[in-house]
Amino acid sequence: MLLDNKKIAIIGGGPGGLTLARLLQEKGALVKVYERDQDRYVRQQGSTLDLHEDTGLKALLTAGLMDDFKKNYRPGADKMKITDRNMTVVYNDGDEKPEEDFGNVHFRPEIDRGPLRDLLISSIKEENIVWDSKFTEMKPSGSGWEISFENGTTAYADLVIASDGANSRVRKYITDIQPVFSGVTAIEINVYNAEKNAPKLWKLVNDGKIFALEQRKTLLFSAKGDGTLTLLIGLKTAHDWLAKSGIDFTNKTEVSEWFKEEFKNWNPDWQELFESDDVWLTPRPMYHFPLDQSWKPLPNLTMIGDAAHRMPPYAGEGANQALADALELYEVLTSNLFVNMEDAIGFFEKRMCTRTSEITEITLQQTEAMHDENNLQLLIDFFNEVV
């Protein structure tokens, strides 16, 4: 096996990195995940993840984790309503979807980020995850790399795998290809204890998802099992809108005042989002990498997930493609089809770029449709065609 006696460092402990670590560990590889979080108990922000049969679920099945997934996913959380700006429900699939339909290519079971992370962490040996390890730089060392972390520690690896997200610090060691702005900026909001702090919205979401659209804007809600309501506000903007807006997005009052003006023709009940101080906010300009990106493979360094192919979230593909990367890289590294690491990594990267280019193109089309002037009708038509 190419990995015999090789030390492998995975930079970043998100779903893709942890899944890859689990897969490689089960083959006896010498693998460690270096994660910047202090420990496993750091709160996981963001909406729920819907895993797809041919990517995310396939990777978990290969990793021997489907039973754990079925214990932790949230039946019914994939049920969805579409509303207009006045909160009128114009589409509801809640009565049509079975709560469990594993094996159906269209079934996309939802799991909260925290439980998914927990089950992955629990499947990896304790000594194979190194916490409080925020990557700062790395330098060539022999045939591998010496990796430095913000806490002053260093580590050697024969193979480094970047899994450190959309703002990867490792990617620059592979390529200087820069991301492209999608034309959409989003603001993510998490309202904790939402049944108390945003009761009308919590009831409307009803433990599932809400897509509220009109006027080239979107409000995407999802409920989490811990009682959090997550919202992604999306709108068409210039690439420098955040910098020129003058809004302090860490200040709930400023964001609330902006929202009240930006969404002044929408039902005022949407303002319930800002009635509590128990909220978390962050802006997220939506970028993607060029569809034709490629680079020269290296014998001791590669990348997976958003580090390799970031894209907007409107097609639900980010985590699924990261898990697909983990599975495909694992299969390549543990096969006997390649004479050396560079050939194996080159094969993987070419395959990954081809797959994710197609997915990115579809995602961009959906992102544009979601923020079209006729976005509400376009989304209704889309789901009616799917059904």
User: Mean pLDDT throughout 269-281?
Assistant: 95
Q: What is the pLDDT of residues 34-66, one digit of tens each?
A: 999 999 988 888 889 999 999 999 999 999 999
198: in domain: no
Report if residue 218 sits inside a domain. no
Report yes or no on 17 lying in a domain: yes
In a domain, 231, yes or no: no
Evaluate whether residue 355 is within a structural domain.
yes
The pLDDT of residue 387 is: 54
Which pLDDT score is estimated for 385? 78
**Per the annotation, where are the binding residues?**
43, 50, 113, 306
**CB burial string 148-177: b at 16+ within 10 A, e below:** bbeeeeebebbbbbbbbbbebbbbebbeee
Return the CATH number at 351. 3.50.50.60
State mean pLDDT over 158-181.
98
Domain residue limits at 342: 7-60+113-178+290-367
What letter does residue 274 receive in the DSSP assignment?
G
Annotated binding site for FAD, which residues? 50, 113, 306
User: From the annotation, which residues make up the binding site for NADPH?
Assistant: 43
Tell me whether strands 209-214 and 80-83 are parallel, antiparallel or unpaired. parallel
**Cα 93 from Cα 83, distance rounded (Å):** 12
Q: What is the pLDDT of residues 2-19, one digit of tens each?
A: 999 999 999 999 999 999
Which residues have CB under 8 Å from 147's CB, separation 6+? 9, 11, 34, 135, 137, 138, 154, 155, 156, 157, 160
CA angle 86, 187, 51 (to 5 degrees): 90
Helix (H, G, I), strand (E, B) or coil at 151: coil
Q: How many domains does the chain have?
A: 1
Is position 200 within any domain? no
Does some domain include residue 53? yes
Residue 167 lies in a domain: yes
